[in-house]
Amino acid sequence: MKRNWRAIGSVVTLMAAVAVASAAWAQAQQKTDTQQKKGEASQKTQPQQKTESDPKKKTVAKAPPGKLEKLMCMRGTEDEHARIAVEVIGGRVQSFAYYSKKKPRTCSVHVQREDAYSRWSDEGRFSKVTTENGDFLIENRPKDVKFMFRDVDRMHYCGMNIGKINGTLTVTRGKRECTVEQLMEAHQEEAEPARDAASQEKAEQKPAPRS
C-alpha cells in the first residue's frame, strides 16, 4: 500500500513538472512570434521610406548649366590682323579675348564675367562691360555677336602712346572671318612732336650764300 502511494506521488510530481515546462515553452514561443512580427513590420516600412525620399532628392538636384558655345574669328594676315575668341553660356557672353597685331605693336584684351576688373550688366540681348580702362558693348544676335569698343585705353592694352581704341568687331556663327571696323586704326602711331619740330626747323633753314 505504501509503495502505491509513493508511485502515485512521483507521477503527480512528474505531471506538475511537465505542466510548468509546457507553460514556459509556450511563453517563450509567444515572445519569438512577437519578435518575428515586429521584424517583418519594420522590413515592410523601410522600403516605403526610401521610395518616398527618392522623389525629394530628384527635385532638389540642380538644373544643368546652359550650353557652352565657343566662337572664334580672324581678319587680316599673319603680320597685320585682328582676332577674337568668345565664350557664350545660356545666351550670355561669359568672356572674350581680343588680340590685334600690326608690326611691331600688339594689343591684347581679355575680360571675363565676375572677375575683379570688370562690371557686367545685361538687358535683353545686350550686355555692357565697364572697366577702368574703357567700356565694351556686346550685342548677342541670332547669327552673330557684335562688340563695340568705346574709348578703350590704348596705353594699357597695347603699350603704346596715349590714345583710345574705338571701333567694332563682329564674329559670325559658322564663319572664321571677322568683320572689323576702325579697330586697327589704334595701331597708327602719332608723329612725335620732337621730330616734327626738327623737320620743320630743317626745312626753314636756308642754304648759306656762296663766297
199 inside domain = no
pLDDT at res. 37: 63
90 inside domain = yes
CA 151, 135, 141 angle in degrees (round to 5)? Answer: 115
Q: Is residue 4 domain-shared with residue 90, that is, in the same domain?
A: no
Domains identified in the chain, total number: 2
Q: Is residue 74 domain-shared with residue 29, that is, in the same domain?
A: no
Q: Is residue 137 domain-shared with residue 85, that is, in the same domain?
A: yes
pLDDT at res. 17: 58
Q: Is residue 8 domain-shared with residue 105, that is, in the same domain?
A: no
Q: In 3D, which of 77, 87, 88, 96 has the Cα closest to residue 184?
A: 77
pLDDT at res. 192: 46
pLDDT at res. 104: 85
Work out whether strand 144-153 and strand 134-140 pair parallel, antiparallel, or are unpaired. antiparallel
Q: Is residue 85 domain-shared with residue 157, that is, in the same domain?
A: yes
What's the pLDDT tens digit per position in 61-112? 454 578 899 999 999 999 999 999 999 999 999 999 999 999 888 999 999 9
Q: Is residue 96 domain-shared with residue 168, that is, in the same domain?
A: yes
162 inside domain = yes
Q: Is residue 82 domain-shared with residue 167, that is, in the same domain?
A: yes
Q: Per this entry, what is the length of the chain?
A: 211
Mean pLDDT of 149-163: 93
201 inside domain = no
pLDDT at res. 188: 86
47 inside domain = no
Q: Is residue 77 domain-shared with residue 24, that is, in the same domain?
A: no
CA dist 59 to 48, 56, 62, 96, Å? Answer: 18, 5, 8, 35
206 inside domain = no
What's the pLDDT tens digit per position in 187-201? 887 644 444 555 556
93 inside domain = yes
Q: Is residue 27 domain-shared with residue 82, that is, in the same domain?
A: no
Q: Is residue 112 domain-shared with residue 164, that is, in the same domain?
A: yes
Task: Give residue 85's domain range.
Answer: 68-187
CA 192, 197, 198 angle in degrees (round to 5)? Answer: 100
Q: Is residue 85 domain-shared with residue 152, that is, in the same domain?
A: yes
166 inside domain = yes
What's the pLDDT tens digit per position in 18-64? 565 566 656 666 666 666 666 565 555 555 544 444 544 444 445 45
